[in-house]
């Protein structure tokens, strides 16, 4: 079946916000009295805010120490810091090739969608002036189940009246690739072969994607 929909993850695919997530988590860790090394940040990619907090606390051997409402307070504290960073995002932080890739798929007649776990996707798209390039926007405010559950991508397909089999998902996180596969969609991994598995194609970034070629190959 011919491709009809291109679905894009946000953090790590369209914009490099991972560094701001990292700074905000690192600050929280330091307030709690432990260090959060950069290498550990990989584990948080594509993972929901609460799950990220659990992983962070495990790194500091502090898991299970907080009540649910204290956990919510810690997550809020991290988010306030993160929002301070992304409020200042500039268009130069759009990852190379991302804008052109969206435009080219649209010119080829495909629909485009955002499929992000982030509850801050709206602010980010506004700052980068990318919102108008999407026919459907699904983010963490519309989903109840985190990746690797396919909910986020299936909602995008439903918005556009498309069968999952005609959708391709661009993802930088393993949880996201697993979610797309579980939803019956084609996948393009954005990253390094050593870090990710179970994809149909892999690229270093969207600047390497040739939309025409992809449409021809994914039949």
Q: How does strand 201-203 pair with strand 186-190? A: parallel
Binding string, 83-112, against ligand B16, x = CB under 6 A?
Answer: ------------------------------
- Cis? peptide before 90, omega within 30° of 0: no
Which stretches of the chain bind Mg ion, using CB under 5 A? 9, 11-12, 46, 172-173
Distance CA 29, CA 123 (A): 25
**Min. distance of Cβ 9 from Mg ion in angstroms?**
4
List residues bridging with 111 in a β-sheet. Answer: 5
Work out what residue 120 binds among ligand B16, Mg ion, none; the CB cut-off runs from 5 to 8 Å by kind.
Answer: ligand B16
Q: What share of the chain is helix, strand, coil (3-state, %, to 5)?
A: 50, 15, 40
Q: Which of 9, 139, 172, 178 is catalytic?
A: 9
**Min. distance of Cβ 116 from ligand B16 in angstroms?**
3
Binding string, 112-151, against ligand B16, x = CB under 6 A?
Answer: ----xxxxx-------------------x-----------
Catalytic site residue 204? Answer: no
Using only the alpha carbons of the chain, give its radius of gyration. Answer: 17
């Amino acid at each position: 079946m011919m491709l009809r929909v291109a679905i894009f993850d946000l953090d790590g695919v369209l914009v490099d916000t991972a560094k701001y997530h990292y700074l905000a988590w690192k600050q929280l860790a330091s307030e709690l009295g432990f260090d959060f090394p950069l290498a550990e940040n990989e584990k948080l990619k594509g993972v929901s805010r609460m799950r990220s907090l659990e992983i962070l606390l495990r790194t500091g051997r502090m898991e299970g120490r907080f009540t649910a409402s204290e956990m919510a307070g810690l997550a809020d504290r991290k988010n306030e810091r993160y929002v301070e960073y992304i409020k200042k995002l500039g268009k130069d932080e759009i990852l190379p090739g991302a804008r052109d890739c969206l435009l080219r798929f649209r010119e080829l007649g495909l629909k485009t969608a955002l499929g992000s776990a982030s509850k801050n996707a709206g602010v980010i798209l506004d700052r980068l002036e990318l919102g108008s390039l999407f026919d459907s926007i699904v983010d963490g405010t519309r989903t109840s189940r985190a990746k690797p559950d396919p909910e986020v991508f299936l909602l995008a397909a439903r918005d556009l009246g498309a069968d999952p089999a005609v959708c391709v998902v661009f993802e930088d996180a393993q949880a996201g690739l697993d979610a797309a596969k579980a939803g019956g969609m084609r996948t393009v991994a954005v990253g390094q072969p050593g870090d990710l598995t179970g994809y149909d194609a892999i690229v270093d970034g969207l600047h390497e994607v040739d939309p025409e070629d992809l449409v021809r190959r994914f039949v």
